[in-house]
């Protein structure tokens, strides 16, 4: 459990005004002195993330935020960072000290718009019991509430239980990679070319995660390089349930895999895992509608060091320029700098998102939808550039349908 990546943990964010006791509540929830707590309003500046085990649920991340009533130019920046956390949280805790005016109303409205399950916490209940009018109002709106006192631990367990009750199903936080596509006892063939870029003595993480997911679903797999695939398949009494290959080897693998055997790529599996495969397929097809000087946003979740033949900076822009046969405009963003205004873009191409949680990727997809901008990701773009959609999408009928519909235009 200690090694669970942050990206597949349940994200729980605490929001509220300055000095309502958000940090003290997180300390009480986690039993650790993780946030700086003081009597001066506005001690938490940048959001603080803390990973822990919340039993019996499992791995979670608590997000401590700055007060939504923070002031001044700097305060305004902090409020913006706080509001960005709405995109990342699976559950929201709105902490109040009995006051309820436009700060609370507006925040609740934003959370409801984004469909974040929300709990209202009346903290510092030793100083003032919950306002009964407010309680009635929340109950009418079916918003759960809890009365707590962070210093005496009152209500902390009730809050934990309420969080667990509202938490989305684990399958939404981290759906299965491949388990839902196969039955127990199925044999999956994984084709893993070993090229010069692969670190010595290792496999790349998506391959390892896929093997593990297959074993977790009581199935098993044959791991083979593309060169030995044909020979390996000949060793089997029956055809495998599914063949998954690295995109780079797709055409060779397709030639060596019998037509009646379902086949897809790791990039398609992982696009589905974090994002929305159908949306991404539609997004890739929007490449056909790019024009000279179209504007493309390339978004990367992590701030990695840019290397010579960088996929987002070099490879995809080069291929797109060649494909469109004209100059294009690219904007690159990294980390959490996803633009609020997407209207000026004709297409968004996102990285695989291995370091961010599914909620944040879903938020970004939603923002693109609302702005009417198509979105796709690196893996799906590459799959499209290689012309493998028809075969690789066969086991995903909805995405295949989306592809075929666009083809008929």
| Contact footprint for a second copy (CB under 8 A) | 1-5, 8, 185, 187, 192, 194, 199-203, 208-209, 211-216, 218-225, 227-228, 231-232, 234-238
Q: Name the helix (H) or strand (E) containing 93.
A: strand 91-96
Residue number with CB closer to a second copy (223 or 371): 223
Shortest Å distance, C-beta 240 to a second copy? 9
3 state DSSP class of 330? strand
Residue number with CB closer to a second copy (11 or 367): 11
What backbone phi and psi angles, to 5 degrees, belong to 152?
Answer: -105, 0
Residue number with CB closer to a second copy (234 or 255): 234
Residue number with CB closer to a second copy (224 or 269): 224
Shortest Å distance, C-beta 176 to a second copy? 11
Who's near 387: CB < 8 A, 6+ residues apart?
none
Residue number with CB closer to a second copy (50 or 227): 227
Separation in Å, CA 130 to CA 125, 136, 141, 145, 146: 7, 10, 17, 10, 9
Residue number with CB closer to a second copy (236 or 326): 236
Rounded Cα–Cα distance for residues 8 and 204 (Å): 18
Shortest Å distance, C-beta 187 to a second copy? 6
Residue number with CB closer to a second copy (59 or 67): 59
Residue tagged 């791995």 (tokens) = 59
Q: Which of 77, 55, 58, 59 minimizes the C-alpha distance to 68?
A: 77
Shortest Å distance, C-beta 221 to a second copy? 5
Shortest Å distance, C-beta 55 to a second copy? 14
Rounded Cα–Cα distance for residues 104 and 297 (Å): 34
Can you state the angle between helices 397-408 and 277-285, rounded to 10 degrees? Answer: 20
Rounded Cα–Cα distance for residues 317 and 385 (Å): 12
* β pairing state of 48-54 and 58-64: antiparallel
Shortest Å distance, C-beta 227 to a second copy? 7
Rounded Cα–Cα distance for residues 337 and 341 (Å): 11
From the CB of residue 254, how many other CB atoms can be counted at a distance below 10 Å?
15
Residue number with CB closer to a second copy (81 or 227): 227
Q: Which of 334, 317, 322, 331 minimizes the C-alpha distance to 381?
A: 317
Shortest Å distance, C-beta 184 to a second copy? 8
Shortest Å distance, C-beta 263 to a second copy? 17
């Amino acid at each position: 459990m200690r090694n669970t990546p942050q990206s597949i943990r349940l994200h729980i964010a605490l929001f509220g005004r300055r000095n309502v006791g958000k940090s003290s509540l997180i300390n009480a929830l986690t039993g650790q002195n993780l946030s700086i707590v003081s009597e001066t309003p506005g001690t938490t500046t940048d959001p603080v993330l803390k990973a822990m085990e919340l039993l019996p649920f499992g791995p979670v991340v608590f997000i401590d935020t700055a007060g939504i009533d923070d002031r001044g130019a700097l305060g305004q920046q902090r409020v913006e960072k706080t509001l960005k956390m709405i995109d990342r949280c699976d559950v929201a805790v709105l902490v109040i000290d009995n006051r309820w005016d436009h700060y609370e109303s507006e925040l609740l409205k934003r959370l409801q718009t984004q469909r974040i399950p929300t709990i209202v916490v009346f903290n510092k209940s030793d100083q003032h019991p919950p306002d009964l009018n407010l309680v009635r109002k929340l109950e009418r709106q079916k918003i759960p509430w809890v009365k707590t006192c962070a210093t005496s631990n009152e209500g902390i367990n009730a809050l934990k239980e309420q969080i667990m009750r509202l938490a989305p199903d684990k399958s939404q936080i981290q759906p299965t990679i491949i388990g839902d596509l196969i039955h127990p006892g199925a044999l999956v063939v994984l084709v893993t070319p070993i090229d010069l870029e692969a670190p010595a003595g290792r496999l790349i993480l998506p391959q390892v995660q896929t093997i593990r997911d297959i074993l977790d679903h009581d199935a098993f797999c044959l791991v083979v390089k593309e060169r030995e695939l044909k020979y390996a398949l000949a060793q089997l009494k029956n055809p495998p349930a599914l063949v998954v290959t690295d995109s780079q080897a797709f055409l060779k693998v397709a030639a060596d895999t019998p037509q009646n055997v379902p086949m897809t790529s790791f990039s398609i599996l992982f696009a589905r895992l974090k994002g929305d495969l159908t949306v991404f397929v539609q997004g890739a097809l929007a490449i056909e509608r790019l024009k000279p000087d179209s504007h493309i946003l390339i978004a990367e979740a992590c701030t990695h060091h840019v290397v010579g033949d960088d996929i987002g900076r070099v490879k995809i822009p080069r291929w797109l320029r060649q494909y469109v046969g004209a100059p294009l405009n690219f904007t690159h963003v990294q980390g959490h700098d996803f633009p609020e205004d997407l209207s000026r873009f004709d297409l968004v191409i996102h990285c695989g998102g291995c370091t961010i949680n599914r909620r944040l990727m879903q938020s970004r997809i939603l923002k693109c939808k609302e702005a009417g901008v198509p979105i796709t990701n690196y893996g799906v773009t590459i799959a499209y550039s290689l012309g493998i959609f028809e075969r690789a999408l066969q086991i995903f009928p909805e995405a295949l349908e989306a592809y075929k519909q666009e083809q008929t235009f």
